[in-house]
């Protein structure tokens, strides 16, 4: 068959028609918002099981459910389903005021009874809430209209912070009791800005705007969230116009696409990169630890490996966390690192040797970052051997306190409280801690129950200073979350890293 000019034109016209059929383009005004999300949603109940403590799923949960206390985009708390909250003077009781005029997605009024039922369910030992040990610190609730009071069973200074954190969601008592756990999984309801219209596990969720939402109806009336776990496929989704918004794409792709037809927003989120030091040889030598910290040029790593998308940190507190203290510094000083190692008998010709563990591909450029750090260490007299493992092995080794002398990890803390960063990461008895020094345990232990908030925060700052001065951990940088979107949508990023469709509007 000969291909004439006329038939070629016909073929091209047919191709263009076919390519336009059913597939959205970037230039079209957005009626239904489509988001290519980076993780699957295994379960709808945000208060039980492993999904409930997965930080990357919280944006999905917060689209359908409300937390006890709402959280602003800068991590600060603001009135949500609870409009007022606090302790009495001697901190033996808690009080909460419940918002009036809120309805569940099925039209049933939301009440103080829902709040109490949710708190008691979360505190129940057999209930399956992974944060039960926090929720069980309050109880014996009394309801008087829209006012709830309860007893403090064990003083927990962060109890109200947790009401904006993992598993801190209000669940519909009447509905869960009526349909049971399986019925809830099949058709979940909440009080949140969107209602679940359709859910296909491992594929997508289609949301419909809650026109009665107490915080105002969302602008996009229909939102489809596709679960696209492969980064290359997510890039293709937005580049082709199949999706309007995506997140967690490689920084190079983010820059490339942002320079073209797409727009992008990148802001630091509450997730940091760090290297745990284990209190085993040779990390028991403070000179080795201090040299390992001083040898690392964090800014250079951020600039060269992360295209500038990262904020170097000196403690486990990111700048927007409550106990952040800018005066605590761990400067890059390779000469001083050499001196310290020399004092312990090490140097470039006689390096100190240890293993550093890392994941590969779990976080952006994780392996490359460790390679760069190993190169920097080598210059001062540290010879580290890289061991790659899966994140599951990291969890297992960390819980068993069997990590290598150095181990790369990332730590999320979307309430910005020091207990959920330095506290759990550095307090010896915690299964998440790696450094078990008695001196540090002695400093941290009194802070768990500290009732004076100023004193508590000052205490954590002192702990962070002690950790920095003794190089008990190597904080690296705060992650920046890249979000790509079509020009027709305006995306408001959240410091917690949650991608929230109800904060999106038409541009």
Partner 1 sequence: MPILKRLLLRLVTTFVTLFGVAVIVFVVIRVVPGNPIAMMLPPGAGEDDILRLKALYGLDKSIPEQFLIWLGGVLQGDFGTSITTRQPVLELVLSRLPATLELSVMALIIAVVAGGILALTGTRLRGGRVEAGIDVANGMALSVPDFLWGLVLILLFGVLWPVFQISGRVSPNIDLPFSTRFYLFESVLRLRFDIWADLVSHMFMPALALAIPLAAIIAQLLKQSLKETMHLDYVTLARTKGYGENHVIIREALPNAILPTLTLVGVQFTFLIGGTVIIERLFSYEGLGNMAINAVINRDLPLIQGIVILFALIFTMVNLLVDLTYAALNPRLRRG
Pairing of strands 352-358, 245-247: unpaired
Interface region with partner 1, contact rule CB under 8 A, candidates 1-9, 319-327, 333-341, 383-391: 383-391
Where does residue 109 rank: exposed (0-12), middle (13-18), buried (19+ CB within 10 A)? exposed
Give the one residue of 99, 206, 244, 502 binding partner 1; rule: CB under 8 A.
206
Interface region with partner 1, contact rule CB under 8 A, candidates 370-378, 394-402, 437-445, 453-461: 394-402
Provide Rg for the chain, Cα atoms: 25
Q: Of the candidates 121, 106, 26, 15, which has an alpha carbon nearest to the alpha carbon of residue 68?
A: 121
Q: Does 252 bind partner 1 (CB under 8 A)?
A: no
Q: Which CB atom, from 21 or from 101, has the smaller least distance to partner 1? A: 21
Q: 133: which DSSP letter?
A: H
Residue 468 CB partners (closer than 8 Å, separation 6+): 314, 315, 328, 329, 330
Residue 345 falls in which region: left (phi positive, over 0), alpha (psi -120 to 50) or beta: left
Q: Does 212 bind partner 1 (CB under 8 A)?
A: no
**Separation between Cα atoms, residue 110 and residue 115, nearest integer Å:** 9
Give the one residue of 8, 11, 153, 181 binding partner 1; rule: CB under 8 A.
181
Q: Does 12 bind partner 1 (CB under 8 A)?
A: no
Give the one residue of 114, 237, 253, 366 binding partner 1; rule: CB under 8 A.
237
The answer to whether 272 and 476 have CB atoms below 8 angstroms apart is yes
**Separation between Cα atoms, residue 410 and residue 395, nearest integer Å:** 12
Interface region with partner 1, contact rule CB under 8 A, candidates 168-176, 313-321, 428-436, 481-489: 428-436
**Separation between Cα atoms, residue 110 and residue 435, nearest integer Å:** 45
Give the one residue of 84, 106, 390, 453 binding partner 1; rule: CB under 8 A.
390
Q: Which CB atom, from 293 or from 434, has the smaller least distance to partner 1? A: 434
Q: Which CB atom, from 62 or from 420, has the smaller least distance to partner 1? A: 420
The answer to whether 108 and 172 have CB atoms below 8 angstroms apart is yes
Q: What are phi and psi of 185, to 5 degrees?
A: -60, -35
Q: Collapsing DSSP states into helix, strand and coil, what is residue 300? A: helix
Interface region with partner 1, contact rule CB under 8 A, candidates 76-84, 199-207, 295-303, 374-382: 199-207
Q: Does 321 bind partner 1 (CB under 8 A)?
A: no
| Binding to partner 1, residues 269-288 (CB under 8 A) | none
The sign of the torsion formed by the CA atoms of 299, 301, 306, 310 equals: negative
| Binding to partner 1, residues 87-146 (CB under 8 A) | 125, 128, 130-131, 133-134
Q: Does 241 bind partner 1 (CB under 8 A)?
A: yes
Residue ranges that bind partner 1, judged by CB under 8 A: 15, 18-19, 22-23, 32, 36, 40, 42-43, 45, 48-51, 53, 125, 128, 130-131, 133-134, 166, 181, 185, 198, 200-204, 206, 224, 226-230, 232-233, 236-237, 239-242, 389-393, 395-400, 419-420, 423-424, 429-432
């Amino acid at each position: 068959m000969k291909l004439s000019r006329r038939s070629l034109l016909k073929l091209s016209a047919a191709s263009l028609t076919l390519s336009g059929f059913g597939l959205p383009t970037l230039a079209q005004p957005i009626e239904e918002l489509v988001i290519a999300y980076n993780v699957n949603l295994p379960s709808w109940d945000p208060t039980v099981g492993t999904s409930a403590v997965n930080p990357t799923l919280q944006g999905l949960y917060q689209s359908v459910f409300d937390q006890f206390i709402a959280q602003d985009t800068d991590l600060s708390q603001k009135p949500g389903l609870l409009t007022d909250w606090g302790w009495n003077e001697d901190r033996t009781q808690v009080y909460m005021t419940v918002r009036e005029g809120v309805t569940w997605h099925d039209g049933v009024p939301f009440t103080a009874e829902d709040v109490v039922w949710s708190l008691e369910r979360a505190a129940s030992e057999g209930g399956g809430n992974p944060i039960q040990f926090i929720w069980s610190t309050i109880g014996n609730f009394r309801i008087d209209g829209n006012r709830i009071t309860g007893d403090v069973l064990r003083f927990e200074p962060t109890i109200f912070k947790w009401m904006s954190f993992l598993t801190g969601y209000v669940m519909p008592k009447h509905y869960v009791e009526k349909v049971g756990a399986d019925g809830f999984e099949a058709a979940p309801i909440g009080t949140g800005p969107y209602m679940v219209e359709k859910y296909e596990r491992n594929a997508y969720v289609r949301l419909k705007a809650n026109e009665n939402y107490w915080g105002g109806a969302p602008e996009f009336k229909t939102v489809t969230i596709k679960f696209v776990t492969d980064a290359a496929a997510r890039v293709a989704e937005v580049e082709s116009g199949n999706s309007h918004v995506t997140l967690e794409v490689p920084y190079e792709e983010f820059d490339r696409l942002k320079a073209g037809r797409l727009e992008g927003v990148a802001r630091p989120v509450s997730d940091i990169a760090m290297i745990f030091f284990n209190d085993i040889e040779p990390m028991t030598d403070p000179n080795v630890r201090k040299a390992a910290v001083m040898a690392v040029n964090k800014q250079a790593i951020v600039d060269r490996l992360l295209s500038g998308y990262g904020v170097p940190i000196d403690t486990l507190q990111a700048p927007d966390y409550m106990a952040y203290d800018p005066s605590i510094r761990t400067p890059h000083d390779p000469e001083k690192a050499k001196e310290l190692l020399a004092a312990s008998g090490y140097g470039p010709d006689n390096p100190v040797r240890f293993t550093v563990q890392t994941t590969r591909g779990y976080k952006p450029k994780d392996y490359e970052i460790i390679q760069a750090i190993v190169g920097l260490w080598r210059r001062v007299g540290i010879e580290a051997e890289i061991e790659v493992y899966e994140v599951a092995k990291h969890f297992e080794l960390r819980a068993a306190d069997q990590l290598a002398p150095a181990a790369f990890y990332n730590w999320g803390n979307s309430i910005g409280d020091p207990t959920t960063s330095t506290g759990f990461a550095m307090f010896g008895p915690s299964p998440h801690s790696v450094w078990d020094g008695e001196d540090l345990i002695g400093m941290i232990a009194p802070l768990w129950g500290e009732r004076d908030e100023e004193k508590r925060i000052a205490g954590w700052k002192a702990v962070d200073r002690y950790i920095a001065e003794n190089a008990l951990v190597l904080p690296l940088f705060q992650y920046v979350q890249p979000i790509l979107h079509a020009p027709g949508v305006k995306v408001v990023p959240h410091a917690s890293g949650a991608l929230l469709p109800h904060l999106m509007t038409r541009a």
